[in-house]
Chain A
Amino acid sequence: MTDTDSVFGARFIRGTQGHLFVMLRRPAGACTGRCVLFVPPFGEEMNKSRRMYALTSSALAKAGHASLMVDLRGTGDSEGEFGDATWSGWIEDIGTAVRWAKDEGWAVDRVLALRLGCALAAAACASLPLTVSRSVLWQPLFEGKRFVTQQLRMRVMSSEMADGREKVSELRARLAAGECLEMGGYAMSPSMIDSLDALGESGQAERLGHIHWYDIVRDPVPQSGTPAKADLTMLGAASIVPQQVVGDPFWSTVEIVVLPQLISSTVTVLAGSV
């Protein structure tokens, strides 16, 4: 598949536990051989944000840069069940995709990630032989416990709206007892929950290079040094440039939303020397 500026290729590659679906978009003309790794957010947020990723990929290709994305095991077109997926398994999948891209002549040296994908990107960069010079993080979420709490609350509220009756504490007990629970349409295993709960407890972002941190807000707010200095210290990041873009939270809206300003700014950062 081609447009005038890029060539898009997708294929299945062998992962450690089944085939993985990888997508690589490269410029149609001359390019550097370097590549941006896109790390997806969690669950349904990925489906809501595919359009943003696709448009950003096209814009990067127009600017002369390739981008790589992989459907992690149990998601998208890759093999496996979501309920069997593990955090460490997803890190392996990223490693598999990065090695494949390198074999194809594309070296990953930058990252774009959204929400919990930012924590996954940080964990992958810390675990894999991967040197990243800069990262763009969209609405970063590093505190796994908070994410899990939100998922549990959503299940409780969905249940109550359907005249059911559940309590967050009961759901936590069921997870602790080894039960896999459906949350937001996705089967969440105790293993995945444990991994998410453990996120945010130590410096994670040392290997993400120079970070451009984007908050997407509906109304502009005075930036008082977002993220807070405590977050910077906790993350262990070398440097963080906070940015703010006005728009809807496209990863959770009912209709698919595109934020052109976010794409434009992201490409400027990833393609340039900002």
Chain B
Amino acid sequence: MDTIGRLRNILRDALQIGSRADALRTDSRLLDSIPEFDSMAAVTILAMIEEEFGFTVADDDVGAEMFETLGALATYVESRG
């Protein structure tokens, strides 16, 4: 499964959005578009990304930019590969 697919699964589980996750595309906005997306959800997603992809998110990487779109999040994850 590609990065986008794995991130969709993480978002589905962390945000409990079910089939709505299937509709997310690379340009789908996350942070200010999904009602369930609050600060606690963001932290949960980061923890799940760390476990799924096997790296630690650097302190100063944490911020709104990485969650702007699904594509932005995937770009960040792949940059840490």
Contacts and interface: CB of A to CB of B under 8 A. Distances in A.
A156 B60 CA distance: 10
A252 B59 contact: no
A75 to B, nearest CB: 20
Interface of A: 149-150, 152-158, 160-161, 167-169, 172, 218-219, 252
B59 A158 contact: no
Contacts of A219: 13
A219 B13 CA distance: 9
Classify the interface of chain A: helix, strand, loop or mixed: helix
A200 to B, nearest CB: 15
Interface of B: 13, 16, 31, 38-40, 42-43, 46-47, 59-60, 62-64
29 contacts: A150-B47, A153-B46, A153-B62, A154-B39, A154-B40, A154-B42, A154-B43, A156-B62, A156-B63, A157-B39, A157-B42, A157-B43, A157-B62, A157-B63, A161-B31, A161-B38, A161-B64, A167-B59, A167-B60, A167-B62, A167-B63, A168-B59, A168-B62, A169-B59, A169-B60, A218-B13, A218-B16, A219-B13, A252-B40
3 closest Cβ pairs, A-B complex: A168-B59, A157-B39, A160-B64
